[in-house]
């Protein structure tokens, strides 16, 4: 029988398991903070132990050398002082060293020994006739350095001796050599004491870090946990929740952002309800009319040409209303998705205003509206002519719809440097301060009007989308009961003085488009 092939184990390896432990996706925030805090404390402990084992002795030797050199410098400062011997005695006693001062010939001038009879310098002075001192003095006199150091093995004490020699010149020109000897004691016993202390310190610090990590992790994660619970409620449709950020700047900013998002979502939800109500009303009315007049044609006016034509005309008008509504919704969708294409051209502001105003001649003659056009000097602007006509048309229609009993409307052009400001002013019911911020939102439509307003409230949203796609400034000023002023501005306008050809081409283009319409 053939041995079956060994199947690969799906069990993760060691490194993968370690990676999973430290992966933020595998644990809560409090656990991760606790884990990192504890690891940080352990890293500090390991660093302290490493210093204790590997760097204690070298650091101790470097410290001894530095101390001996500093003593040499201190003695050199007092070499001309009458209190020099007192200073040397004090330094030798405080630091536990042996200090010897000689002249350049090696003659002893001052000796202060605090190391006892096992001192190398003591032997040199009293027994070996300056063997070590002579060697160091020669190095100073023949070399370039002002301070030299040398280590000697003290077999009787099983320790090392450090001798530091310094060449000093007095103010009178005499040369002296200062020798400082100190014992490099074995650090084993001291290290043992430090290790015991460090062991207990490590245990205490690990326990404290464990406790502090738990406290800090819970404190840090508490605002996030609270925001998460609130977000779950909000996700289930509770719009009355309030996100609280706690004491931290970042969590407070997160809470503020979520609160703003909640308000925007609530606003969109309300606007969606308004859309359903408005569009349902605007769809139901023409559909009802179409059905009613179709039944009338079938039952009553089928044999009467005049009534049949009248009823069919109503059906056609209502169908046009439905088509216009659907087209507006499609156009708004294109503008908001960024798929609307702009066909820009250069045209005259006067031609643009006059072209749009022609559409209101019937309304002026039939319904008694006074729509006044106030122009400034002509300018050439660059934009999508048809879409900007739609902007102005929507603004004027809005003024007509909400002008109330006052039927006076002004369309005003004002030149401001390279900008051309167009204002549509009515003296009707106006807009309340609470509603001003949402006038250009989708599906907004005012409640207070004295005439039947046709539309689903998306006209100003289309205007907003067109002007934003052109990157043109716009806005509204209004006071309730006194009327409103909607405005927008063409930017980078040019004078028409040197652009006669462009003006003629614009007029021809507009005339051609008018004939096509």
Helices (H), 236-338: 249-299, 305-337
| Confidence at residue 124, expressed as pLDDT on a 0 to 100 scale | 64
pTM above 0.95, yes or no: no
Pairing of strands 408-416, 370-374: parallel
Q: At what angle do helices 459-470 and 305-337 cross, to 10 degrees?
A: 40
**416: which residues sit within 8 A by CB, 6+ positions away?**
489
What is d(CA 301, CA 296) in angstroms, rounded to the nearest whole number?
6
Question: What number of residues does the chain have?
Answer: 517
Q: What is the pLDDT of residue 293?
A: 77
Residue of 430, 411, 436 whose CA lies nearest to 421: 411
CB-CB contact of 99 with 91 (8 Å): yes
How far apart CA 20 and CA 27 sit, in angstroms, is 9
Tell me the DSSP string of 417-472: TTEEEEEEEE-SS---TTTGGGTTSTT---S--SSPPPS-S-HHHHHHHHHHHHT-
pLDDT at 38: 77
Hey, is 101 helix, strand or coil?
strand
Q: Which of 486, 360, 353, 357 is nearest to 425 (CA)?
A: 486
Alpha-carbon distance of 440 to 260, in angstroms, equals: 19
246 backbone dihedrals φ, ψ, rounded to 5°: 85, -150
Residue from 27, 183, 63, 69 nearest 120 by CA: 183
Measure the CA–CA gap between 97 and 182, rounded to whole angstroms.
5
Predicted pLDDT of residue 300: 74
- pLDDT for 122-142, tens place per residue? 666 655 445 777 888 888 888
The residue written with tokens 């001309």 in the block is: 80
Coil, helix or strand for 386? helix
**How confident is the model at residue 422, as a pLDDT?**
96
Q: Would strands 474-479 and 483-490 be described as parallel, antiparallel, or unpaired?
A: antiparallel
Q: Which ranges of the chain have pLDDT less than 70?
A: 1-30, 122-130, 156-158, 186-191, 193, 271-272, 274-282, 285, 301-302, 332, 336-339, 442-457, 497-517
């Amino acid at each position: 029988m053939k041995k079956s092939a060994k199947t690969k184990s799906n069990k993760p390896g060691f490194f993968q398991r370690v990676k999973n432990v430290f992966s933020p996706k595998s644990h809560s925030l409090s656990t991760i903070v606790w884990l990192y805090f504890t690891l940080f404390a352990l890293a500090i402990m390991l660093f302290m132990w490493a210093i204790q084992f590997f760097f204690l002795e070298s650091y101790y030797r470097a410290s001894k050398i530095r101390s001996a050199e500093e003593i040499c410098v201190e003695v050199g400062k007092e070499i001309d002082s009458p209190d020099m011997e007192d200073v040397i005695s004090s330094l030798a006693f405080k630091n536990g060293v042996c200090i010897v001062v000689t002249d350049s010939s090696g003659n002893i001038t001052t000796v202060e020994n605090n190391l006892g009879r096992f001192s190398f310098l003591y032997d040199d002075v009293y027994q070996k006739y300056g063997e070590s001192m002579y060697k160091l003095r020669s190095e100073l006199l023949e070399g370039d350095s002002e301070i030299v150091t040398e280590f000697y093995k003290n077999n009787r004490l099983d320790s090392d001796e450090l001798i530091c020699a310094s060449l000093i010149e007095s103010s009178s020109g005499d040369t002296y050599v200062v020798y400082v000897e100190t014992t490099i004691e074995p650090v084993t016993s001291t290290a043992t004491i430090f290790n015991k202390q460090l062991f207990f310190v490590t245990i205490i610090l690990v326990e404290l870090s464990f406790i502090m990590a738990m406290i800090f992790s819970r404190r840090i994660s508490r605002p996030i946990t609270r925001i998460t619970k609130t977000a779950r409620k909000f996700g289930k449709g509770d719009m009355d929740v309030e996100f609280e950020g706690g004491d931290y700047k970042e969590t407070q900013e997160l809470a503020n952002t979520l609160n703003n998002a909640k308000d925007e979502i609530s606003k969109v939800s309300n606007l969606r309800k308004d859309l359903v109500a408005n569009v349902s009303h605007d769809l139901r009315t023409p559909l009802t009319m179409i059905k009613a007049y179709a039944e009338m044609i079938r039952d009553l006016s089928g044999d009467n040409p005049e009534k049949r034509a009248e009823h069919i005309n109503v059906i056609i008008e209502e169908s046009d209303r439905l088509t216009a509504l659907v087209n507006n919704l499609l156009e708004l969708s294109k503008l908001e998705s960024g798929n609307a294409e702009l066909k820009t051209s250069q045209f005259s502001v006067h031609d643009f205003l006059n072209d749009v105003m022609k559409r209101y001649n019937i309304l002026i003659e039939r319904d008694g509206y006074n729509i006044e056009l106030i122009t400034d000097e002509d300018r050439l602007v660059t934009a999508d002519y048809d879409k900007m006509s739609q902007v102005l048309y929507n603004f004027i229609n809005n003024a007509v719809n909400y002008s109330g009993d006052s039927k006076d409307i002004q369309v005003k052009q004002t030149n401001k440097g390279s900008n051309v400001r167009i204002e549509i002013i009515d003296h009707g019911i106006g807009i309340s301060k609470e509603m001003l911020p949402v006038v250009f939102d989708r599906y907004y439509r005012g409640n207070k009007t004295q005439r039947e307003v046709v539309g689903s409230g998306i006209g100003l949203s289309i205007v907003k989308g067109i002007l934003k796609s052109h990157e043109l400034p716009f806005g509204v000023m209004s006071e309730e009961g006194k009327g409103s002023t909607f405005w927008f501005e063409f930017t980078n306008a040019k004078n028409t003085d040197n652009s006669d050809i462009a003006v003629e081409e614009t007029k021809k283009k507009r005339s051609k488009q008018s004939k096509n319409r």
